[in-house]
Protein backbone atom coordinates (compact mmCIF):
# COMPACT_ATOMS: atom_id res chain seq x y z
CA UNK A 1 0.00 0.00 0.00
CA UNK A 2 1.29 3.45 -0.87
CA UNK A 3 1.23 6.26 1.61
CA UNK A 4 1.26 9.99 0.97
CA UNK A 5 4.80 11.37 0.62
CA UNK A 6 4.02 14.70 2.29
CA UNK A 7 5.83 16.05 5.35
CA UNK A 8 6.18 13.22 7.85
CA UNK A 9 7.73 14.79 10.89
CA UNK A 10 8.15 18.06 12.73
CA UNK A 11 6.29 21.30 12.31
CA UNK A 12 6.84 23.62 9.35
CA UNK A 13 6.32 26.51 11.76
CA UNK A 14 9.67 25.63 13.36
CA UNK A 15 11.59 26.05 10.10
CA UNK A 16 13.55 29.24 9.50
CA UNK A 17 12.06 31.74 7.12
CA UNK A 18 13.62 34.56 5.16
CA UNK A 19 12.52 38.17 5.19
CA UNK A 20 11.30 39.61 2.98
CA UNK A 21 9.48 36.53 1.73
CA UNK A 22 9.00 36.40 -2.01
CA UNK A 23 6.47 33.92 -3.34
CA UNK A 24 5.92 32.74 -6.90
CA UNK A 25 3.41 30.34 -8.41
CA UNK A 26 3.61 28.10 -11.48
CA UNK A 27 0.98 25.79 -12.88
CA UNK A 28 1.90 22.16 -12.23
CA UNK A 29 1.34 21.06 -15.82
CA UNK A 30 4.10 23.47 -16.93
CA UNK A 31 6.63 21.47 -14.88
CA UNK A 32 5.83 17.95 -16.15
CA UNK A 33 8.43 16.20 -18.30
CA UNK A 34 10.30 17.53 -20.18
CA UNK A 35 9.91 20.81 -18.24
CA UNK A 36 11.74 21.73 -15.06
CA UNK A 37 12.24 24.80 -12.96
CA UNK A 38 15.77 26.12 -12.41
CA UNK A 39 16.34 28.33 -9.37
CA UNK A 40 19.87 29.60 -9.04
CA UNK A 41 21.82 31.97 -6.87
CA UNK A 42 25.45 33.05 -7.17
CA UNK A 43 27.17 29.71 -6.61
CA UNK A 44 24.45 27.06 -6.27
CA UNK A 45 21.15 25.99 -7.77
CA UNK A 46 18.21 23.64 -7.53
CA UNK A 47 15.95 22.18 -10.19
CA UNK A 48 12.39 20.95 -9.67
CA UNK A 49 9.98 18.93 -11.76
CA UNK A 50 6.52 17.42 -11.32
CA UNK A 51 5.85 13.69 -11.13
CA UNK A 52 3.27 12.56 -13.68
CA UNK A 53 2.15 9.22 -12.24
CA UNK A 54 2.30 7.52 -8.84
CA UNK A 55 5.10 5.10 -8.00
CA UNK A 56 6.83 3.72 -4.89
CA UNK A 57 10.06 5.62 -4.17
CA UNK A 58 12.47 3.32 -2.36
CA UNK A 59 14.94 4.95 0.01
CA UNK A 60 17.92 2.73 0.80
CA UNK A 61 19.62 3.27 4.17
CA UNK A 62 22.41 1.18 5.74
CA UNK A 63 19.95 -0.85 7.81
CA UNK A 64 16.63 -0.62 6.01
CA UNK A 65 14.63 0.03 2.89
CA UNK A 66 11.70 2.42 3.17
CA UNK A 67 9.25 2.83 0.31
CA UNK A 68 7.14 5.97 0.10
CA UNK A 69 4.18 6.46 -2.15
CA UNK A 70 4.94 9.31 -4.53
CA UNK A 71 1.80 10.72 -6.13
CA UNK A 72 1.08 12.44 -9.43
CA UNK A 73 1.62 16.16 -8.88
CA UNK A 74 4.35 15.64 -6.26
CA UNK A 75 7.76 17.22 -6.80
CA UNK A 76 11.23 15.92 -7.52
CA UNK A 77 13.83 18.48 -6.43
CA UNK A 78 17.57 18.20 -7.03
CA UNK A 79 19.97 20.47 -5.17
CA UNK A 80 23.53 21.33 -6.21
CA UNK A 81 24.83 23.10 -3.07
CA UNK A 82 28.22 23.79 -4.70
CA UNK A 83 26.86 24.51 -8.16
CA UNK A 84 28.45 22.71 -11.08
CA UNK A 85 27.18 21.46 -14.42
CA UNK A 86 23.40 21.26 -14.74
CA UNK A 87 23.39 18.09 -16.88
CA UNK A 88 24.01 15.68 -13.94
CA UNK A 89 21.23 17.38 -11.94
CA UNK A 90 18.78 16.96 -14.83
CA UNK A 91 19.85 13.32 -15.22
CA UNK A 92 19.24 12.69 -11.51
CA UNK A 93 15.84 14.40 -11.68
CA UNK A 94 14.83 12.21 -14.64
CA UNK A 95 16.27 9.03 -13.10
CA UNK A 96 13.85 9.51 -10.21
CA UNK A 97 10.92 11.14 -12.06
CA UNK A 98 10.84 8.96 -15.18
CA UNK A 99 12.72 5.78 -14.22
CA UNK A 100 11.82 5.55 -10.49
CA UNK A 101 15.43 4.98 -9.41
CA UNK A 102 15.83 4.36 -5.65
CA UNK A 103 17.39 7.04 -3.45
CA UNK A 104 20.38 6.17 -1.25
CA UNK A 105 20.88 7.79 2.16
CA UNK A 106 24.37 7.44 3.63
CA UNK A 107 24.78 6.97 7.38
CA UNK A 108 25.73 10.08 9.40
CA UNK A 109 29.50 10.58 9.42
CA UNK A 110 30.04 8.61 6.22
CA UNK A 111 33.18 9.97 4.47
CA UNK A 112 31.46 9.81 1.06
CA UNK A 113 29.02 12.58 2.00
CA UNK A 114 31.82 15.11 1.35
CA UNK A 115 31.88 14.04 -2.30
CA UNK A 116 28.13 14.09 -2.92
CA UNK A 117 27.59 16.93 -5.41
CA UNK A 118 23.86 16.50 -6.11
CA UNK A 119 21.09 15.47 -3.72
CA UNK A 120 17.46 14.66 -4.47
CA UNK A 121 14.16 14.67 -2.61
CA UNK A 122 10.51 13.94 -3.52
CA UNK A 123 7.22 15.04 -2.00
CA UNK A 124 4.45 17.60 -1.87
CA UNK A 125 6.49 20.07 0.20
CA UNK A 126 10.29 20.27 0.33
CA UNK A 127 12.20 22.63 2.61
CA UNK A 128 15.77 23.55 1.64
CA UNK A 129 18.14 23.52 4.60
CA UNK A 130 21.88 24.31 4.82
CA UNK A 131 22.21 22.69 8.24
CA UNK A 132 22.09 19.04 7.19
CA UNK A 133 24.89 16.85 5.84
CA UNK A 134 24.59 15.97 2.15
CA UNK A 135 23.34 12.53 1.30
CA UNK A 136 22.63 11.47 4.90
CA UNK A 137 19.04 12.63 5.37
CA UNK A 138 16.33 10.11 4.38
CA UNK A 139 13.42 12.47 5.28
CA UNK A 140 12.04 13.53 1.90
CA UNK A 141 10.56 16.78 3.27
CA UNK A 142 14.03 18.30 3.82
CA UNK A 143 16.81 18.74 1.26
CA UNK A 144 20.38 19.96 1.69
CA UNK A 145 21.08 23.30 0.01
CA UNK A 146 23.61 26.10 0.13
CA UNK A 147 23.06 28.93 2.64
CA UNK A 148 22.12 31.28 -0.23
CA UNK A 149 19.06 29.14 -1.14
CA UNK A 150 18.32 27.69 2.33
CA UNK A 151 14.91 28.60 3.74
CA UNK A 152 13.11 28.20 0.41
CA UNK A 153 10.06 25.95 0.57
CA UNK A 154 8.74 24.39 -2.63
CA UNK A 155 5.16 23.11 -2.42
CA UNK A 156 2.86 21.39 -4.87
CA UNK A 157 -0.90 21.57 -4.58
CA UNK A 158 -1.32 19.33 -7.62
CA UNK A 159 -2.55 22.33 -9.60
CA UNK A 160 0.28 24.76 -8.93
CA UNK A 161 3.80 24.96 -7.54
CA UNK A 162 4.46 27.57 -4.85
CA UNK A 163 7.93 28.93 -4.10
CA UNK A 164 7.78 30.30 -0.55
CA UNK A 165 10.55 32.45 0.97
CA UNK A 166 12.39 32.62 -2.33
CA UNK A 167 15.71 34.39 -1.72
CA UNK A 168 15.54 37.85 -3.37
CA UNK A 169 18.79 37.35 -5.32
CA UNK A 170 17.58 34.10 -6.90
CA UNK A 171 16.84 33.81 -10.59
CA UNK A 172 13.97 31.53 -11.61
CA UNK A 173 13.88 30.03 -15.10
CA UNK A 174 11.37 27.63 -16.63
CA UNK A 175 13.30 25.23 -18.85
CA UNK A 176 11.90 22.98 -21.56
CA UNK A 177 15.19 21.12 -21.86
CA UNK A 178 18.82 21.85 -21.11
CA UNK A 179 18.92 24.17 -24.11
CA UNK A 180 15.45 25.71 -24.31
CA UNK A 181 14.42 28.49 -21.96
CA UNK A 182 10.63 28.81 -21.79
CA UNK A 183 10.44 31.97 -19.66
CA UNK A 184 12.70 33.90 -17.34
CA UNK A 185 11.93 35.98 -14.25
| Mean pLDDT of the 68-81 span | 94
The domain limits of the chain are 19-171
Nearest one of 141, 140, 138 to 153, comparing CA atoms: 141
pLDDT greater than 60 at residue 170: yes
pLDDT of residue 53: 92
| Mean pLDDT of the 140-149 span | 92
| CB within 8 Å of 36: residues ≥ 6 apart | 47, 48, 49, 90, 93, 175
**Residue range 100-115, pLDDT digits in tens:** 999 999 888 888 888 9
CA dihedral 48, 91, 101, 31 (to 10 degrees): 30
Furthest-apart CA pair in the chain: how many Å?
44
**Residue range 39-54, pLDDT digits in tens:** 999 999 999 999 999 9
- Higher local confidence (pLDDT), 175 or 119: 119
pTM for the complete prediction? 0.82
How far is CA 84 from its chain centroid?
16
**Residue range 146-167, pLDDT digits in tens:** 999 999 999 998 778 889 998 8
Q: Which residues of 151-170 are buried (b: 16+ CB within 10 A; e: fewer)?
A: bbbbbbeeebbebbbbbeeb
Q: In what order do the strands lie in the sheet with 103-104?
A: 65-70, 55-60, 103-104
Amino acid sequence: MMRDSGFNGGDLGDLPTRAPAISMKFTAKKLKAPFFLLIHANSSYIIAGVIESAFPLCIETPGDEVCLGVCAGDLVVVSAPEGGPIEPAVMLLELVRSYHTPVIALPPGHPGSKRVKYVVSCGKSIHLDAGIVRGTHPDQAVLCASPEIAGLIIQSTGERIDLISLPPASVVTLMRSLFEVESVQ
